[in-house]
Amino acid sequence: MATGFFSLQGHISALVIAACGAANAAETAPPACPPLLQKSFKRLQDDAPQNLCQYAGKVLLVVNTASYCGFTPQYEGLEKLYAQYGGKGLVVLGFPSNDFGEQEPGQSKDIADFCYNTYGVKFPMFEKTVVSGKAANPLFADLAKAGGGTPKWNFYKYLVGRDGKLIDSYSSMTKPDSSALVKDIQKALAQP
The answer to whether 188 touches 161, Cβ cutoff 8 Å, is: yes
For the chain, what's the residue count?
Answer: 192
3-state class of 162 per DSSP?
coil
What residues act catalytically? Answer: 69
DSSP for 51-108, written as a single string: EGGGGTTSEEEEEEE-SSSTTTTHHHHHHHHHHHHGGGTEEEEEEE--TTTT---S-H
Q: Could you give phi then psi for residue 8, rounded to 5 degrees? A: -65, -40
For 24, the enclosing helix (H) or strand (E) is helix 2-28
The answer to whether 185 touches 179, Cβ cutoff 8 Å, is: no
For 160, the enclosing helix (H) or strand (E) is strand 157-160
